């Protein structure tokens, strides 16, 4: 369960005007409201998923390390390659090494020669964020590693993510760079895809190896918002590196409102990434109302001086 959202409604603020005649300074926009509410993420953006309009933002164009958010672009690049979902891919020793399996890296249970379908690898890369699965998924396209990364960067640029660059497909390399604004565009595009939306929306998945029953396993989703009754999740991805902190990118709808692309970067804890995403979603309508109130105030002042 999440705590009750602590942001201050702008309508409640209107009743806080001191009786002594002192003027109340109403936040000028959603970003000021978020700051007033104490959102702690290092950078964030809340964007209307349809128009791309940023409703709330903080340091949204400052470069940050995406960590495993990278895997969303890996998935998009594989889909663009039109690799068959039924294709069998044998895991390699290098997948285990480069994925830092057994050394703190998120991985599915595997070994050299164990086969999974591309469909299974998509689930493993996106649900528990398995690094070895992401590497095998990239290799399923038949492209050399450098060519696949080139495709990733081309994909990001085509989505308008102009300040994003990748060096590998897992997110383990801290040289990978993005911004909150860029990733809002990426997450909105990724989860418009019905297949990715379906995969990311699962709370768990039974992953089967096609040639070794010992590596059949249940993988679980770390996205706690999937079980929140107030939030409809169309798709989301978590990420963590020491250099990045906890990141969370999501396409969600809060209490039946508008569809929002929300990215929070540099959180101190994973639970706070979920909680602050929900808080920011709840502020989206207030952000629109603030814009209306401040516009009305400007128009009123202009009329008064005529």
- pLDDT tens digit string along 187-230? 999 999 999 999 999 999 999 999 999 999 999 998 999 999 99
The residue length of the chain stands at 306
In a domain, 2, yes or no: no
In a domain, 29, yes or no: yes
Beta strand extents in the chain (DSSP E only): 43-48, 54-58, 88-90, 115-117, 204-207, 217-220, 231-241, 245-254, 259-267
Task: Supply the CATH number for residue 47's domain.
Answer: 3.40.710.10
Q: Strand, coil or helix: what is 241?
A: strand
In a domain, 3, yes or no: no
In a domain, 261, yes or no: yes
In a domain, 144, yes or no: yes
Render pLDDT for 130-184 as a digit per residue (tens, 0 to 9): 999 999 999 999 999 999 999 999 999 999 999 999 999 999 999 999 999 999 9
Distance CA 183, CA 43 (A): 11
| Radius of gyration over every alpha carbon of the chain, rounded to an integer in angstroms | 21
Helices (H) and strands (E) in the chain, counts: 10, 9
Query: How much is the pLDDT for 16?
Result: 43
| Domain containing residue 91 | 10-304
In a domain, 4, yes or no: no
Distance CA 211, CA 301 (A): 74
In a domain, 1, yes or no: no
* Percent of the chain whose predicted confidence (pLDDT) is above 70: 81
Specify the higher pLDDT residue, 176 or 14.
Answer: 176
In a domain, 279, yes or no: yes
Number of structural domains found in the chain = 1
Render pLDDT for 61-118 as a digit per residue (tens, 0 to 9): 999 999 999 999 999 999 999 999 999 999 999 999 999 999 999 999 999 999 999 9
Distance CA 286, CA 281 (A): 10
Kindly indicate the confidence band of residue 284, based on its pLDDT and cuts at 50, 70 and 90.
confident
Beta-strand relationship, 231-241 and 245-254: antiparallel
* DSSP annotation string for 41-67: -SEEEEEETTT--EEEEESTTS-B--G
């Amino acid at each position: 369960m999440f705590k009750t959202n602590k942001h201050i409604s702008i309508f409640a603020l209107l009743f806080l005007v001191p009786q002594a005649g002192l003027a109340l300074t109403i936040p000028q926009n959603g970003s000021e409201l978020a700051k007033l509410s104490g959102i702690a993420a290092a950078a964030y953006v809340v964007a209307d998923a349809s128009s791309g309009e940023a409703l709330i933002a903080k340091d949204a164009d400052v470069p940050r390390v995406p960590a495993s958010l990278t895997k969303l672009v890996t998935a998009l690049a594989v889909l663009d390659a039109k690799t068959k979902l039924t294709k069998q891919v044998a895991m390699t020793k290098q997948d285990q090494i480069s994925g830092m399996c057994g050394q703190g890296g998120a991985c599915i249970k595997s070994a050299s020669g164990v086969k999974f379908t591309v469909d299974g690898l998509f689930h493993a890369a996106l649900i528990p964020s398995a690094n070895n699965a992401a590497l095998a998924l990239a290799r399923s396209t038949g492209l050399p590693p450098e060519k696949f990364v080139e495709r990733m960067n081309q994909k990001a640029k085509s989505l308008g993510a102009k300040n994003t660059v990748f060096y590998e497909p897992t997110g383990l390399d801290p040289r990978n760079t993005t911004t909150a604004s860029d990733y809002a565009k990426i997450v909105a595009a990724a989860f418009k895809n019905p297949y990715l939306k379906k995969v990311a929306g699962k709370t768990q998945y039974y992953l089967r190896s096609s040639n070794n029953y010992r590596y059949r396993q249940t993988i679980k989703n770390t996205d706690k918002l999937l079980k929140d009754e107030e939030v409809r999740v169309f798709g989301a991805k978590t990420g963590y590196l020491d250099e990045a902190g906890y990141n969370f990118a999501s396409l969600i709808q809060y209490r039946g409102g508008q569809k929002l692309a929300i990215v929070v970067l540099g959180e101190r804890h994973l639970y706070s990434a979920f909680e602050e995403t929900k808080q920011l979603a709840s502020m989206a309508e207030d952000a629109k109302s603030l814009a209306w109130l401040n516009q009305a105030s400007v128009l009123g002042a202009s009329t008064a001086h005529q």
